[in-house]
Amino acid sequence: MIRLQRKRDEVLGRLFEEIKLNNDNNIDVEKMRPQIETQFSLRKFEPEFFSDDVIKSLTLMVFVAGTETTVITMEWAMSLLLNHPKVLQEIKAVIDSQVGCEPLINGLDLAKLPYLHCVINETLRLYPTVPLSLPHCSSVDCIVGGFHIPRGTILLVNAWSMHRDPKLWEEPIKFKAERFEEINGEREEFKFIPFGIVRRACPGAGMAMRVMSLALGAFIQCFDWEMVGKKMVDMTSSSEFLMAKTKPLEAVCTPCPSMINFLS
């Protein structure tokens, strides 16, 4: 642990030095910029709070909370699409007609691809990457579902079972992305909570949805995807804090003829 922490400190330290060198005399509060730069610029106003250690921890949190969750969800989404080739073809057709071959899909195109958004939501419903969310602690005595919960109890919310509850969802086990076309807002009835809810909900949810849509969109725009052999992709999940696939996804991708110029 100590060795790893030192290594982590070195990497972040180098990143800090680079940013400090580039920006020492050049801080423009209005400009869009990476999170670390923003924190450095805030140090001017609250030097005691924004110490190197605090900035390092906040930066690290974004890596820890943001990378694996996003990658695991994309792997689930791609696996579901391979097992449902018609849905994959449908998205591909929309990308071909709405975005075309060049340039690569960008943020503005996402508004034209609502179905891709539904596919990611349906993936997060069936395979919520953080199935038990993060532990919370009750701040007062309360009664939930008839159970008395004393103040100070550590609580886990089982998003996985809520997302598959037949009382809340029609055909809950079925992959049916179109169900999200009808759901008005992702927080409807709080039955869909892959990012938690309210005050301590995931602050990276918007970014995660955007990054996943862009990456999956680009994969589909650039390549034709097929399963390896005739077997369906194995969808067994691990039972860890982050719910990953037990068997990593293997797939065959071939560059789309129309994208070869762009890709090369």
Report the C-alpha gap between 18 and 91 in whole angstroms: 41
Taking the C-alpha atoms of residue 89 and residue 82, their distance in angstroms, rounded to an integer, is: 10
Interacting residues of 200 by C-beta distance below 8 A, sequence separation 6+: 134, 136
Burial of 104 (0-12, 13-18, 19+ CB in 10 A): middle
Q: Select the residue interacting with ligand HEM from 42, 94, 201, 259 (CB under 6 A).
A: 201
Tell me if residue 252 falls in helix, strand or coil: strand
> Is residue 202 part of the contact set for ligand HEM (CB under 6 A)?
yes
Q: How many CB atoms lie within 10 A of CB 241?
A: 10
Residue with Cβ nearer ligand HEM (101 or 201): 201
- Residue 36 binds ligand HEM (CB under 6 A): no
Shortest CA distance to 217 belongs to which of 58, 63, 98, 54? 98
Triad 63, 202, 127: Cα angle to 5°: 90
d(CA 17, CA 21): 6
131 binds ligand HEM (CB under 6 A): no
Q: How many chain residues bind ligand HEM (CB under 6 A)?
A: 21
One residue of 196, 214, 224, 235 binding ligand HEM per CB under 6 A: 196
Stretch that binds ligand HEM, among 12-20, 88-96, 111-119, 196-204 (CB under 6 A): 196-204
Among 8, 31, 200, 210, binds ligand HEM (CB under 6 A): 200
**3-class DSSP state for residue 163?**
helix
The nearest distance, CB 47 to ligand HEM, in angstroms, is: 23
Contacts of 222 (CB under 8 A, 6+ apart): 104, 255, 256, 259, 262, 263
In eight-state DSSP terms, residue 15 is H
Report d(CA 186, CA 107) in Å as an integer.
20
Instruction: Look up residue 64 and give its amino acid.
Output: V
- Asked if 204 interacts with ligand HEM (CB under 6 A), we say yes
Whichever of 65 and 235 has its CB closer to ligand HEM, that residue is 65
Report in angstroms how near the CB of residue 3 gets to ligand HEM at its nearest.
25
The stretch among 87-95, 127-135, 230-238, 249-257 that binds ligand HEM (CB under 6 A) is 127-135
Among 34, 85, 103, 203, binds ligand HEM (CB under 6 A): 203
Stretch of 41-49, 130-138, 139-147, 160-168 contacting ligand HEM, by CB under 6 A: 130-138
Nearest residue to ligand HEM on Cβ basis: 204
207 binds ligand HEM per the rule CB under 6 A: yes
What is the contact surface with ligand HEM in residues (CB under 6 A)? 61-62, 65-66, 69-70, 73, 129-130, 133-134, 194-196, 200-204, 207-208
Annotated binding site for heme: 202
